[in-house]
């Protein structure tokens, strides 16, 4: 029998449908080997708190694979290298590097390996902890944005696209009935995977992506072109990180010393206002927001998450070095953290799904509308 190990799991960053499936899968795969399994509550915070660890056994993970959220909790402001800490004599937290405490607690608890389930930010933190002496980390790529480099897909993405597509489907009827223009804002940060996939599936007339700076005049011409053809309504899908050519992305909350990146949002309202001015049509905007994160994971996300969790434990058992499990051409394999940490997987603009959408006459706001065929 292989050497008994003691492993620990955590979930960090924004939640995504499928997190509990990974937790269940990794726990069962480890218990099958006779290992001991623990969970860290709320990202890395549990390693800085006296009651921040919880044992994971069969009872703890029974019946959770189909549930959204995460039984371990998560945190967006839990970077141990910039951890919010109230120092003596102060009443407001300041950013303090507490990474050494994380590593000391990890070793004191006798853990052999960490399964870090997170997006690019969480995986970057994991890489930095490895560089500082954490023995072994196997990353599991998680995000609805599908923007983690080194893997073809992340779990959570399929569910988010399904929710966004259903919303666009429902908006078609009311938008057509009132002969309006509807601008739908979806998540994705600086990658447009949700927008282009849901936009194509939902029959959007224009899709605005972070990868393609747009000119609002081009989008307005698309709306007016449809008007001339007797189609008196239009659906525009905008990724939250989309930006006009020569302009800037819309930001709701600026970055600070704890939140390393700003919270994006507002592009739909801005775009709707401009389209109303340029076309004279009644225009509305809607932000889907965290609806895309909530609810049960799709069957595709559950299967992907279960495969990732089992593979992570399998890599530990095989004695593999630190790295991230990834999906490549249908197979789960381990890739170095260097291929994923600190990098963004963007939508290719000259091939793939964007090219397919252009062939259907969908506007991306970067070309004359005479390029498009009738729709």
Q: Catalytic residue positions?
A: 145
Strands 137-141 and 323-328, by their bridges, are parallel
d(CA 123, CA 166): 31
For residues 305 and 317, give the distance between their C-alpha atoms in angstroms, rounded to a whole number. Answer: 19
User: What are the φ/ψ torsions at residue 201 (nearest 5 degrees)?
Assistant: -65, -35
d(CA 297, CA 318): 29
C-alpha distances (whole Å) from 153 to each of 107, 170, 253, 299, 346 are: 33, 27, 28, 14, 12
Residues 281 and 275: beta-carbon distance below 8 Å = yes
CB atoms within 10 A of CB 273: 14
Q: What is the DSSP string of 1-59?
A: -PPP-EEEEEE-SS--TTHHHHHHHHHHHHHHTT-EEEEESTTTGGGGSTT-EEE--HH
Q: Are 325 and 138 in contact (CB under 8 A)?
A: yes
**Pair 324, 340: CB distance under 8 Å:** yes
Residue 251 CB burial class (10 angstroms; 0-12, 13-18, ≥19)? middle
Q: How far apart are CA 176 and CA 13, in angstroms?
A: 38
Rounded to an integer, what distance in angstroms lies between the CA atom of residue 119 and that of residue 188? Answer: 12
Spatial CA neighbour of 131 closest among 342, 297, 311, 328: 342
């Amino acid at each position: 029998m292989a050497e008994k190990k003691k492993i620990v799991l955590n979930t960090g960053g924004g939640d995504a449908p499928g997190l509990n499936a990974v937790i269940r899968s990794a726990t069962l795969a480890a218990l099958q080997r006779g290992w001991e399994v623990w969970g860290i509550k709320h990202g890395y915070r549990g390693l800085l708190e006296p009651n921040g660890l919880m044992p994971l056994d069969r009872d703890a993970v029974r019946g959770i694979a189909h549930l959204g959220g995460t039984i371990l909790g998560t945190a967006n402001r839990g970077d141990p290298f910039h951890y919010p800490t109230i120092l003596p004599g102060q009443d407001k937290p300041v950013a303090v590097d507490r990474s050494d405490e994380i590593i000391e607690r990890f070793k004191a608890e006798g853990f052999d390996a960490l399964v870090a389930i997170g997006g690019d930010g969480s995986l970057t933190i994991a890489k930095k902890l490895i560089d500082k002496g954490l023995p072994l980390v196997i990353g599991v790529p998680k995000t609805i944005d599908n923007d983690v480099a080194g893997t073809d897909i992340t779990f959570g993405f399929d569910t988010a696209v399904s929710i966004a597509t259903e919303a666009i489907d429902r908006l078609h009827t009311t938008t057509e009935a009132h002969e309006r223009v509807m601008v739908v804002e979806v998540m994705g940060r600086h990658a447009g995977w949700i927008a282009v996939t849901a936009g194509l599936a939902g029959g959007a007339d224009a899709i605005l992506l972070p990868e393609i700076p747009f000119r609002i005049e081009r989008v307005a011409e698309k709306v007016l072109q449809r008007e001339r053809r007797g189609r008196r309504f239009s659906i525009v899908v905008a990724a939250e990180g989309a930006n006009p050519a020569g302009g800037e992305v819309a930001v709701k909350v600026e970055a600070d010393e704890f939140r390393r990146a700003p919270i994006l949002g507002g592009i739909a309202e801005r775009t709707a206002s401009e389209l109303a001015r340029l076309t004279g049509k009644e225009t509305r905007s809607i932000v889907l927001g965290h609806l895309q994160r909530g609810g049960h994971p799709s069957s595709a996300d559950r299967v992907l998450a279960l495969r990732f969790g089992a593979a992570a434990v399998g890599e530990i058992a095989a004695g593999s070095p630190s790295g991230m499990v990834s999906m490549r051409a249908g197979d789960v394999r381990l890739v170095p953290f260097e291929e994923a940490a600190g990098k963004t997987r963007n939508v290719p603009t000259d091939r793939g799904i964007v090219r397919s959408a252009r062939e259907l006459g969908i506007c991306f706001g970067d070309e004359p509308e005479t390029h498009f065929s009738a729709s």
